[in-house]
Homo-oligomer: A and B are copies of this chain.
């Protein structure tokens, strides 16, 4: 039952545009042209640009959460999770040098409508929470605060590797950074 065809089409093209160029570069007129309607129609589905941005970020978080929860339910595969997790952030780079939507939006932070900002925070929290769970399974003795700090650091470091690799337009920079994180022990 394909309810809301136009709405779906809008979200799909807008998502790619944000990951390619950021929230600021997202244009209602470009979205409309790609979908085959007029920009006023986009406003019918998403009254403001902030509404569209927030909807995109919310869906993005949901998709990641589903994906990560899927990994968690698999038989305990030791340190393979680190590989799977970093791959999540490697994929968009391979796809036309795109970025994690939350990463690129974090850079635009002070320019963002508050409802978009809130969704970006939610994405970050979901990542740190998932990483904390996995880490605490690996090191049952460690303090919750230490775990939490390392989870945040892993997330920050991977986002940074993606940011720098994108800035250079070179996935190899991402791979080298991840490799160094592993060598230092930041990543298992």
Interface residues of A (CB under 8 A from B): 20-22, 24-25, 96-97, 99, 102-111, 120-121, 124, 146, 149-150, 152-169, 173, 176-177, 179-181, 183-186
Give the Cβ gap from A164 to chain B, nearest Cβ, in Å. 4
B155 near A164 with CB under 8 A, answer: yes
When the two chains form the complex, which single residue of B24, B96, B159, B186 contacts A163, counting CB atoms closer than 8 Å?
B159
Which of A21, A109, A154, A166 counts the most chain B CB atoms within 10 A? Answer: A109
Option from B108, B159, B179 in Cβ contact (under 8 Å) with A164: B159
Chain B residues in 8 Å Cβ range of A120:
167
Q: A156-B161, A184-B186 are in contact. Are A166 and B97 (CB under 8 A)?
A: no
**Shortest Cβ gap from A97 to chain B (Å):** 6
* Given known A156-B177, A160-B159, contact A124–B186 (CB-CB < 8 A): no
Tell me whether A176 and B149 are in contact (CB under 8 A).
yes
Enumerate chain B residues within 8 angstroms of A104, measured Cβ to Cβ.
Answer: 107-108
Decide if A150 touches B180 in the complex (CB within 8 Å): yes
Q: Pick 22 A–B contacts, CB within 8 A, sort by A.
A: A22-B22, A24-B24, A99-B107, A103-B163, A104-B107, A106-B163, A106-B166, A107-B108, A109-B166, A121-B168, A124-B164, A149-B179, A149-B183, A153-B157, A153-B177, A153-B181, A156-B164, A157-B177, A157-B186, A160-B162, A184-B184, A184-B186
A54 to chain B, nearest CB (A): 15
In the complex, how many angstroms separate the beta carbon of A63 from the nearest chain B beta carbon? 19
